[in-house]
Copies of this chain bind each other. A is one copy, B any other.
């Protein structure tokens, strides 16, 4: 009986690795679409992806998977809930029960439309013309509604979508978390606005030649621990990280020759994602045990490196002299204090990925509110630009001058990734909790940054986060690391302390 279960488990692993291999091939095609694809090839790429998605979906919903899974679930293999087999069986079951409800034709059509919509979005954003993008957005929303309805006819559609990124999340709970953040952040933002201190941000808007930006950012990503023998860095319209396959993790960023921060912090953010992917246990690749623990945890890794490390004073104590060597014209007259303040300058602005730590979560909240309205039919696509601008005005007291700086700025909707945005805020919260714990456990953590030592932090994250794969869901993982539940207060404490000092509050 046990022999039968072991055999069933082994066959399941083999099948799931095959499915993951198809996913990794799709990952490469998706990366290439963002980075390299000639314009005329959009349709061909969409067909390639739709075909692979159909293939993958049929493999993932084969009745044999359900049968094999039942054998494993009824065996002693799953006795230890944190054991490899139990973790895999738990997540396979969850995925299988969801996927079998979705027709393959819907999955193919979604993938095809996502692929086609990427190019349309890039063009629409370039021309700042929402009307170019809205038919594609209509289609993607309609398809995602069909998808959510197929999986859970009775549940709020948004819950089903968010659950893909954050298992167990609901719109109600996310609203509670996000408004908790808002309630603490709005007064902080208001206090900062009232401060007479102002960073000199003009130092970040000097000449920063693109090729030098690339070299500097790549060197910094390598210094904090991203392994470029097993990865690369390219340019794309929207920064992202793609963990394609073992040994193949790819970062992208975008460059502005008159702006330092966007590309640099984009690279560090994506390198945070990338180091998580590179730290997942390779022996378990293709199974949940070797996969990340949801997008909130994934974003915690990117935000931790971006904000808690790369926007810290010790980090720049080490890197500013190096930046001055690479950008002598722009930076030779800049002090550490001035630079540190500039890269932490708080300012209401239009673009989420360029937002500071204080305003960032308000950008997320805005998107979350629009998405939940779209999926509960309280907002129609044609009203998106108006609703965006209205909500933006409410949170930031200013109105985007065009849709490129408004509702067209993010790649997520063109990828039908509705329900993703809250993961960013969860990531911020988790990052603060995890980082606070790291400071307790690693002696002289930030002192090490001043001489360029980041390995102790990466090793600690490898052990505490990366090595576990999907063994624990986010709440359990946070509990295991910090001894307590998910809690937004460490983030607030961090922001109050840091910005209180910077702005003399």
Contact = CB atoms under 8 A, between A and B. Distances in A.
Interface of A: 18, 21-22, 24-25, 28-29, 32, 36-45, 47-48, 51-52, 55, 227-232, 244-249
Contact of A21 (B18, B39, B48, B247): B48
Contact of A229 (B22, B39, B52): B39
Given A28-B29, A38-B231, A41-B246, 19 more contacts: A21-B48, A24-B44, A24-B48, A25-B52, A32-B32, A36-B232, A38-B248, A38-B249, A39-B229, A39-B230, A40-B227, A40-B229, A40-B230, A41-B248, A43-B246, A44-B244, A44-B245, A45-B248, A55-B55
A247 B41 contact: yes
A245 B45 contact: yes
A22 B24 CA distance: 15
Give this chain's copy count.
2
B29 A247 contact: no
B32 A47 contact: no
Given A25-B52, A32-B32, A52-B25, A44 B247 contact: yes
- At the interface, is chain A mostly helix, strand, loop or mixed? helix
A248 B42 CA distance: 9
A112 to B, nearest CB: 13
Most buried by B among A47, A55, A248: A248
Contacts of A245: 41, 44-45, 48
B28 A246 contact: no
A52 to B, nearest CB: 7
B247 A42 contact: yes
Contacts of A244: 41, 44
B25 A25 contact: yes
Nearest to A231: B38
Contacts of A21: 47-48, 51
Contacts of A22: 51
25 contacts: A24-B44, A25-B29, A25-B48, A28-B32, A32-B32, A36-B232, A38-B230, A38-B231, A38-B248, A39-B247, A40-B227, A40-B229, A40-B230, A40-B246, A40-B247, A40-B248, A41-B246, A41-B247, A43-B246, A43-B247, A44-B247, A45-B245, A45-B248, A48-B245, A55-B55
Contacts of A230: 38-41
A44 B43 CA distance: 27
Nearest to A245: B44
A47 to B, nearest CB: 7
A444 to B, nearest CB: 32
A24 to B, nearest CB: 6
A457 to B, nearest CB: 22
Contacts of A247: 38-44
Q: Which 4 A-B pairs have the closest CB atoms?
A: A40-B247, A41-B248, A44-B245, A40-B230
A43 B55 CA distance: 23
Nearest to A26: B25
Contacts of A32: 28, 32
A28 B18 CA distance: 19
A67 B201 CA distance: 72
A31 to B, nearest CB: 9
A47 B247 CA distance: 13
Nearest to A227: B40
A36 B242 CA distance: 14
A346 to B, nearest CB: 37
Contacts of A43: 246-247
Nearest to A44: B245
A42 B230 CA distance: 10
Nearest to A211: B211
A421 B386 CA distance: 63
Contacts of A36: 232
Contacts of A249: 38
A21 B55 CA distance: 12
Nearest to A17: B47
A47 B246 CA distance: 11
Max chain B CB contacts within 10 Å: which of A25, A43, A231? Answer: A25
Nearest to A285: B44
A450 B28 CA distance: 43
Contacts of A228: 38
A57 to B, nearest CB: 15
Nearest to A51: B21
B229 A44 contact: no
A48 B37 CA distance: 20
A257 to B, nearest CB: 16
